[in-house]
Amino acid sequence: MNKLLVIILLTTPLVCFGQSDLQALYDSARVNCDIELAKQVNELAKREKNSRVEANSLFLIALCQKRNDNLYEAVLNYMSALKIYRKEEHIKEVADILENLGNIYNLSGYKDMAMEYYSEALTLRHQLEDSADIAKAHNYLANAYLDIKDFDNAAKHCELALDIAQKVNAKEMLTSIYDTKGIVHRNKGEFDLALASYQQSLNHATKKADIARIHNNRGYALWQMGDLKGGQQDFNAVLHMISNDPNNSTAAFALGNLAATYESYRPDSAKIFYKESLKYFNKHQLIQSTPYFNSVKALKDIAKTEGNLDEYVYYSDKIDQLTEQLLAVRSDLKNLYQQYQVEAATYKYDSHQKAQALERQLIIDRYITIALVVLVLVMAVMMVMLYRKNRKITFAQETARKIYQVINS
């Protein structure tokens, strides 16, 4: 129905097309993550010269492409949207895109580049003074530091995020921050603190996807502590909650973790769970390259142990294919990052020039204002002097008239 409406609108004269219709189409594309409809909305927005919907639709197209593992195209569209948002000074949307770019570069292995995107986003969040978004930006940085095993900086950003989120009672952010804090403690071997943080996260969680993610992370901590049964209970809880959702990666993580717990004493069950996890990861090999690699490598090792040459070769080829894809996309992303640096530097230079021009104009306006005030004062003094002079002349004329009357009488 929506696509039929787009075709009608594309063949309708511009004068008959309303902004509300365009927005409604965009909303439909966003709710359904319909990339084809989003592309058509983008074309309509260009034709209508509606830059806001054009940028929003590019943002949506990029988000859908990221979910579909098309990272290069996603970054291209994020950057196209970024140009429009910057031009129109939509700072919040600029920060949103920078965080999304950070996520892609982080997952692609470019941790240093991801950190730059996250840091720039944090600076913009502070300009907007939105506490919940500032907390979110700190949480992104905490996770980025976790990935490079800088646990001290990860803990620092967790505490900064937590302090802000508690002050404004941002429950959804508190859920994420406590979860991140649990991972920090787990990596530092502070398992009791990790479990306490996961419980705090569960206390604030309301969404099924968040609850599932926390159970998976807590299960992993319990398994590392040696509580195999407790870990398996948490992983199974995840599968009962979201196993039917093909778009939720947490189920695949839980399957991979559950497989790892069975590997040492029930390799047949581990093999089943690893294969189940690949049903999700096969569609998201790049965006979830690390867990995908772990599952494939585990299946390759099991095949080697079993002496199954066909499966061993099959999973070896899978690893080689992933390596080739990652190398290609990393090269593309590196080039786009360099392009972004040039565009960002140009934007900053232009902004600086505009700021200087505005400052010069303000100085000129100030001088003009002072000159006008002085002019008004001078005119006021002259009016007073003229008034006094006129009074003197009037008094002299009146006196002369009286004298003339006395003489003539």
The answer as to whether 401 is a domain residue is no
Q: If you search the block for the tokens 């926390």, which residue do you land on?
A: 214
For 94-133, what is each residue's pLDDT tens digit?
Answer: 999 999 999 999 988 888 899 999 999 999 999 999 999 9
Give the contacts of 246 (CB within 8 A, at least 6 positions apart). Answer: 280
- Please state the length of the chain: 409
8 Å CB contact between 53 and 38 = no
Which range marks the domain in which residue 112 is found?
A: 91-200
Kindly give the confidence (pLDDT) of every residue in the chain, 409 residues in length, as a single tens digit, with 9 standing for 90 and above.
455 444 444 444 444 445 667 888 888 888 888 899 999 999 999 998 999 999 999 999 999 998 888 888 999 999 999 999 999 999 999 999 999 999 999 988 888 899 999 999 999 999 999 999 999 999 999 999 999 999 999 999 999 999 999 999 998 999 999 999 999 999 999 999 999 999 999 999 999 999 999 999 999 999 999 999 999 999 999 999 887 776 678 888 999 999 999 998 899 999 999 999 988 877 777 778 888 899 999 999 999 999 999 999 999 999 999 888 888 888 888 888 877 776 665 555 444 445 455 555 666 667 677 777 777 777 777 777 777 777 777 766 777 676 766 676 6
Same domain, 71 and 104: no
Q: Are 257 and 216 in contact (CB under 8 A)?
A: yes
Together in a domain, 11 and 31: yes
The reply to whether 58 and 110 lie within a common domain is: no
Domain boundary among 275, 294, 326: 326
pTM confidence score: 0.76
Domain total of the chain: 3
Closest CA to 215 of 189, 236, 186, 243: 236
155 lies in the same domain as 178: yes
Q: Contact at 8 Å (CB) between 179 and 139?
A: no
- What is the C-alpha to C-alpha distance for residues 52 and 50, in angstroms, rounded to an integer? 6
Q: What is the pLDDT of residues 297-352, one digit of tens each?
A: 999 999 999 999 999 999 999 999 988 888 888 888 888 887 777 666 555 544 44
Is there a single domain that holds both residue 79 and residue 125? no
Q: Which of 200, 218, 251 is the last residue of a domain?
A: 200
